[in-house]
């Protein structure tokens, strides 16, 4: 059997080849029961994530975007197996996670996460070096090579080891702490990194530096990213494909250029119209998004976006829109794009 040191020196091997998705999410659902009242009985549930499915291709950056509360973080926690789904499953490179498949330990070596809050993710009592070396040691790497790896990774994220190794998290800026969190995520040689609002707490100038660092590291280490943000511009900048979520469901997904140039879902169009534009040529005609999303405890029937949608018709209240084709590799959950749906703007008959 290979030593832990040898096993930890490189990523786990590619199993299914380049055409097999690195991650497949199938029907992922999380309903949080709402408890309260006299007997603390369940009174409905928060439908945080509802029947979400997508594939993550090897080597790509898939962006997930949507307003606050639409279920992005719950999706990432479900994928990380930090909570049990109500329904659905996650397949990693052809293998399930759990009994009969990958153990949680094997899975978590290959899938790492970076969160928004750079401070909360770090143990304040560990030096930067100890913090990065911690997980490899837990996985069996002896102290000396673990420390060597920590120093190599500090350099890779742009922090001079001689200057930073012995410092504590409170002695660093937010941007420097986020670089350390990225180094920690890399320490087990993962294949997939889930980045949940990784730059949302940083100043704009620092944000650009950290995004560029992430793109460089992706090349250098052959990574795949699931990049979550509420910021459309950030997602546009980093993603190959984009998935738009609304109230726990997939509203639209597709190649980044197609989705930003020709959004198919009225929600995506409204989101894009709501962002400040520097270029008057590119101002949009769609009405911008107003108000907040409805409560996920009692989401609207049929299409969840219909209560804020300029194109809503009676049919939208009675039919859950399927993910209809809107272009090559491009789908939108909108009855306008579903032939024969009965919406006045849809083609009358299914092809
Ligand atoms: N542990 C929880 N218990 C109950 N409701 C939750 C919990 N976590 C998240 N929610 C609710 O689920 C919905 C989605 O939240 P979240 O996944 O954090 O959205 P996002 O990351 O897109 O802002 C929100 O309505 C939120 O209040
Ligand atoms: Mg979130």
Give the model confidence (pLDDT) of 182-204 as tens digits: 999 999 999 999 999 999 999 99
Query: Atom 10, ligand 1: which residue's CA is nearest?
Result: 48
Tell me the C-alpha distance between 229 and 197, whole Å: 5
**Is 298 a pocket residue for ligand 1 (Cβ < 6 Å)?**
no
Q: Is 81 exposed, middle or buried (0-12, 13-18, 19+ CB in 10 A)?
A: middle
Tell me the C-alpha distance between 54 and 47, whole Å: 18
Positive or negative torsion for Cα 261, 265, 268, 271 = positive
- Mean pLDDT, the chain, rounded, equals 92
The answer to whether residue 227 scores a pLDDT higher than 60 is yes
Show the tokens assigned to 189.
């040689």
pLDDT of residue 282: 56
The answer to whether residue 284 scores a pLDDT higher than 60 is no
The answer to whether residue 1 scores a pLDDT higher than 50 is no
Q: What is the average pLDDT across 313-327?
A: 97
Percent of the chain at pLDDT exceeding 90: 83
**Is 48 a pocket residue for ligand 1 (Cβ < 6 Å)?**
yes
Query: Which ligand sits nearest to residue 201's alpha carbon?
Result: 2
The answer to whether residue 9 scores a pLDDT higher than 90 is no
Q: What is the average pLDDT across 264-274?
A: 95
pLDDT tens-digit series, residues 231-250: 999 999 999 999 999 999 99
pLDDT of residue 348: 84
| The ligand 1 atom nearest the CA atom of 30 | 12
**Is 223 a pocket residue for ligand 1 (Cβ < 6 Å)?**
no
Output phi, psi for 298, to 5 deg. Answer: -125, 70
Assess contact for 224 and 60: CB atoms under 8 A: yes
- CA distance between the termini of the chain: 56
**Is 296 a pocket residue for ligand 1 (Cβ < 6 Å)?**
yes
pLDDT tens-digit series, residues 90-133: 999 999 998 889 999 999 999 999 999 878 889 999 999 999 99
pLDDT of residue 204: 92
């Amino acid at each position: 059997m290979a030593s832990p040191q040898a096993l930890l020196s490189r990523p786990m091997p590619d199993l299914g080849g380049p055409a097999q998705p690195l991650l497949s999410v199938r029907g992922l659902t999380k309903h949080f029961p709402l408890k309260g009242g006299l007997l603390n009985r369940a009174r409905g549930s928060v439908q945080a994530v509802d029947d979400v499915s997508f594939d993550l291709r090897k080597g790509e950056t898939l962006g997930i975007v949507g307003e606050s509360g639409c279920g992005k973080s719950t999706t990432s926690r479900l994928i990380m197996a930090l909570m049990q789904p109500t329904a659905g499953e996650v397949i990693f490179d052809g293998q399930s996670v759990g009994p009969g498949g990958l153990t949680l330990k094997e899975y978590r070596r290959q899938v790492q996460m970076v969160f928004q809050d750079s401070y909360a993710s770090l143990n304040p009592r560990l030096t930067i070096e100890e913090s990065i070396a911690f997980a490899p040691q837990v996985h069996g790497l002896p102290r000396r090579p673990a420390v060597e790896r920590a120093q190599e990774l500090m350099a890779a994220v742009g922090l001079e080891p001689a200057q930073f190794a012995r410092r504590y998290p409170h002695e660093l800026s937010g941007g420097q702490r986020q670089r350390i969190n990225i180094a920690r995520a890399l320490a087990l040689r993962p294949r997939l990194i889930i980045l949940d609002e990784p730059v949302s707490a940083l100043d704009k100038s620092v944000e650009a530096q950290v995004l560029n660092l992430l793109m460089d590291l992706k090349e250098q280490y052959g990574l795949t990213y699931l990049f979550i943000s509420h910021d459309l511009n950030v997602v546009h900048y980093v993603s190959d494909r984009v998935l738009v979520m609304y109230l726990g469901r997939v509203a639209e997904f597709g190649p980044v250029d197609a989705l930003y140039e020709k959004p198919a879902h009225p929600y995506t169009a409204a989101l894009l119209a709501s962002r400040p534009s520097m270029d008057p040529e590119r101002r949009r005609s769609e009405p911008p998004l107003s108000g907040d999303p409805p409560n996920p405890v009692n989401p609207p029937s049929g299409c969840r976006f219909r209560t804020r949608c300029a194109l809503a018709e009676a049919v939208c209240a009675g039919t859950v829109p399927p993910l209809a084709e809107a272009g090559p590799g491009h789908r939108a959950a909108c009855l306008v794009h579903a032939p024969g749906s009965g919406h006045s703007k849809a083609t009358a008959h299914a092809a």
